[in-house]
């Protein structure tokens, strides 16, 4: 493969990419990077106003972008969004399932024991992560079957490898996403089209709006005990930056990984490799 062919592997011109949770810290960076490489990118989020901070970068092209309200827990909402994308950009050939996260009342603490975690909070966290990945794969995956090719990128977690303390629903859901990624990769390749690939990222620790309460003190902005423990167990001695995910995302979505499917790739500063001693 010569230099020009290598450059073309990361030219996403003509690709139509839907990103659930696309207005978030991590997925917003993915969206801007993909637009800069020529892709038509659709950000799906329950709160479209969160994408306002990305407006200038998304409009700088050369790709095009849309921001649409969508609920990953509503099949009807997803079907409506899929039809709108078809009319504007054509069939979605790439799906990034970025919607997910944890919440405080599904997290154990000195004030809230495991035995007292409310079932509605556990259900919301599990559904948002697991069902919120499952349903978009169903809705947008049909279009990939039509095309005979496609790419699905799910978002797992370090907690899928070894469950982290305090976040039982989140850990169980992310483990489910890793398992589902492998299951769907096999289904798509064997039953529909070998060129439909399904993989996942497993980010290490990135400070976002959803985990900030666990990692930093709200009043002082200093690291909590949990935050310090994470840094102590991350060989690279820092939290991840959103940009740290982009290289892996582009590789998994490009033809440079055309023989890769059913894998979960850690991007974690060495956290998963470290045994603690």
Q: What is the side-by-side strand order in the sheet with 150-155? A: 65-69, 40-45, 16-20, 94-97, 150-155, 196-203, 264-267
Q: Residue 86 and residue 37: Cα distance in Å, rounded? A: 20
CA-closest candidate to residue 22, choices 35, 41, 40: 41
What kind and span of H or E run contains 34? helix 25-36
> Could you give the dihedral angle defined by the CA atoms of residues 265, 251, 131 and 202, in that order, rounded to the nearest 10 degrees?
20
Is 2 exposed, middle or buried (CB count within 10 Å of its CB: 0-12, 13-18, 19+)? exposed
Residue 10 appears among annotated catalytic residues? no
Catalytic one of 10, 161, 170, 192: 170
> Could you give the dihedral angle defined by the CA atoms of residues 43, 47, 48 and 52, in that order, rounded to the nearest 10 degrees?
-110
SS3 content of the chain, % helix, strand, coil (to 5): 50, 15, 35
Per-residue CA distances from 149 to 3, 24, 26, 84, 144 (Å): 25, 27, 26, 20, 5
Q: Which residues are catalytic?
A: 170
């Amino acid at each position: 493969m010569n230099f020009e062919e290598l450059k073309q592997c990361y030219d996403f011109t003509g690709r139509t990419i839907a990103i659930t949770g696309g207005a978030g810290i991590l997925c917003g960076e993915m969206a801007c990077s993909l637009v800069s490489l020529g892709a038509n990118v659709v950000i799906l989020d329950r709160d479209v106003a969160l994408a306002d901070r990305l407006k200038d970068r998304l409009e700088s092209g050369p790709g095009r972008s849309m921001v649409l309200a969508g609920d990953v827990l509503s099949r009807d909402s997803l079907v409506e969004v899929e039809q709108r994308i078809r009319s504007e950009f054509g069939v979605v050939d790439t799906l990034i399932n970025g919607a997910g996260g944890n919440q405080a009342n599904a997290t154990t603490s000195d004030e809230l024991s495991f035995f007292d975690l409310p079932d509605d909070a556990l259900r919301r966290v599990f559904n948002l992560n697991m069902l919120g990945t499952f349903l978009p794969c169903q809705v947008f995956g049909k279009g990939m079957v039509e095309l005979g090719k496609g790419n699905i990128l799910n978002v797992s977690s370090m907690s899928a490898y070894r469950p982290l303390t305090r976040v039982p629903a989140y850990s169980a859901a992310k483990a489910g996403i890793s398992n589902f990624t492998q299951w769907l990769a096999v289904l798509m390749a064997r039953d529909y089209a070998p060129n439909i690939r399904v993989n996942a990222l497993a980010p290490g620790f990135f400070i976002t709006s959803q985990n900030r309460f666990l990692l930093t003190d709200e009043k002082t902005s200093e690291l909590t005990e949990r935050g310090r423990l994470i840094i102590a167990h991350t060989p690279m001695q820092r939290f991840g930056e959103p940009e740290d995910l982009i290289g892996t995302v582009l590789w998994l979505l490009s033809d440079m990984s055309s023989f890769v499917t059913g894998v979960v790739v850690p991007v974690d500063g060495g956290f998963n490799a470290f045994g603690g001693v």
